[in-house]
């Protein structure tokens, strides 16, 4: 797909704020990215950088009344989701854009059977199906996500399933209505490594089958490398770099991205050698100084970085750093 044709989803200058006890916190600032059909976009960054808030903003699921979108557009299929009526938005959620979450243990309602919770999505978005068809669709989808004996699982309660199985149920639930986009917010973080690999493989297979786009949120570059076509790197509520996956791994431009990539242990690093870490802490959203948000941890910071916010520049490979050209 060429970059010039209209993307499936385009986020433009999205800004989100939260009311907190200490004042208004700007959790997202000037977030812009595109998602092409069939593509997997990774969003990566440290805890608290705004990955989840980005996905919740797109879905208009921010906790009310504390959180609100204060600017920008989310163009999906030619319409701005932020301008849609609540009812129209109900028709999008779970139907055209579906979501899975980090905690499979708590994301399913403990008091309803798996079958009931799966069917609910169909009842909402495919009312034309009769009971038999709904059941068949659920069984078929559970089979697809690799759950053995699906008929029996339909009658079970979430607590009777393992974490990996529950995440598979969540994926089945998200994919029942054949969405155009699946937003996966750290879907494997709570699972152990072998299950994690299985789930990633499953998502890849399902994507090949139905051609959906995936927004994959994680703080793990290893996972990004396995599944993503393109990556957005976030820091302190801003995008600081985005590029094709190989381009980013081979030529990271932002000092933060370079730091992150150096912090990953590799097979060819000396065993037991000290991993490089990024010194310092992320300031709280309320204490970010003017200028570049990474300045206090950046070894290349210069006076200009403390005064002006660097713009996100570049074609294809974009970076938000005044000195990026020096690293190209």
Ligand X SMILES: Nc1ncnc2c1ncn2[C@@H]1O[C@H](COP(=O)(O)OP(=O)(O)OP(=O)(O)O)[C@@H](O)[C@H]1O
Where along the sequence are the contacts to Mg ion (CB under 5 A)?
52
Is residue 155 a contact point for another protein (CB under 8 A)? no
Contact track, another protein, 37-66, x by CB under 8 A: ----------------------x-x-----
DSSP 301-320: --GGGGTSPPP-B-SSSEE-
271 makes contact with another protein (CB under 8 A)? no
Residue among 214, 210, 242, 239 nearest 228 (CA): 214
Position 91 contacts another protein (CB under 8 A): yes
Per CB under 6 A, contacts with ligand X among 250-289 are 285
Judged by CB under 6 A, the stretch of 62-70, 167-175, 269-277, 289-297 that binds ligand X is 62-70
> Which residue stretch of 20-28, 35-43, 119-127, 206-214 sits at the interface with another protein (rule: CB under 8 A)?
119-127
CA–CA separation, 257 and 298 (whole Å): 11
- Per-residue contact flags (x/-) with another protein for residues 174 to 203, judged by CB under 8 A: ------------------------------
Q: Which of 84, 90, 97 is nearest to 177 (CA)?
A: 97
For the chain, the C-alpha Rg in angstroms (whole number) is 21
- Indicate the residue among 121 and 231 with the shorter CB distance to another protein: 121
CB 142 to ligand X: min, Å: 28
Q: Which does 315 bind (CB under 5 to 8 A by kind): Mg ion, ligand X, another protein, none?
A: none
Backbone angles phi, psi at 266, to 5 degrees: -120, 165
**N-term to C-term CA, the chain:** 26
Q: How far apart are CA 241 and CA 251, in angstroms?
A: 11
Backbone phi, psi, residue 141, to 5°: -70, -40
Shortest reach from residue 323's CB to another protein, in Å = 40
Query: Do 263 and 256 contact (CB within 8 A), yes or no?
Result: no
List contacts with another protein (CB under 8 A). Answer: 59, 61, 86-87, 90-95, 98-99, 101, 103, 106-113, 120-121, 124-125, 157, 159, 170, 173
């Amino acid at each position: 797909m060429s970059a010039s044709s209209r993307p499936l989803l385009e986020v433009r200058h999205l800004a989100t704020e939260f009311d907190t006890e200490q004042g208004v916190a700007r959790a997202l600032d000037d977030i812009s990215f595109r998602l092409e059909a069939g593509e997997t976009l990774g969003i990566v960054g440290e805890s608290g950088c705004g990955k989840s808030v980005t996905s919740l903003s797109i879905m208009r699921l921010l906790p009310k009344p504390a959180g609100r979108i204060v600017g920008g557009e989310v163009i999906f299929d030619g319409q701005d989701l932020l301008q849609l009526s609540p009812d129209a938005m109900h028709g999008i959620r779970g139907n055209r854009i579906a979501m899975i979450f980090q905690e499979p243990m708590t994301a399913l309602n403990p008091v309803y059977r798996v079958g009931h919770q799966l069917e609910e999505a169909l009842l909402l978005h495919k009312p034309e199906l009769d009971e038999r068809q709904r059941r068949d669709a659920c069984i078929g989808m559970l089979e697809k996500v690799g759950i053995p004996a699906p008929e029996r699982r339909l009658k079970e309660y979430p607590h009777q399933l393992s974490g990996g199985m529950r995440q598979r149920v969540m994926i089945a639930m998200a994919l029942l209505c054949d969405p155009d986009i699946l937003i996966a917010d750290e879907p494997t973080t709570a699972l152990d490594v072998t299950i994690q690999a299985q789930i990633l493989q499953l998502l890849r297979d399902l994507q090949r089958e139905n051609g959906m786009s995936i927004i994959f949120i994680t703080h793990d570059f290893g996972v990004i490398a396995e599944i993503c076509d393109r990556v957005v790197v976030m820091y302190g509520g801003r995008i600081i770099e985005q590029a094709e996956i190989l381009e980013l791994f081979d030529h990271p431009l932002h000092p933060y991205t370079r730091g992150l990539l150096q912090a990953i242990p590799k097979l060819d690093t000396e065993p037991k050698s000290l991993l490089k870490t990024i010194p310092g802490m992320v300031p709280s959203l309320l204490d970010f100084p003017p200028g570049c948000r990474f300045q206090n941890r950046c070894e290349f910071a210069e006076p200009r970085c403390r005064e002006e916010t660097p713009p996100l520049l570049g074609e294809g490979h974009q970076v938000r750093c005044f000195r990026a050209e020096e690293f190209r």
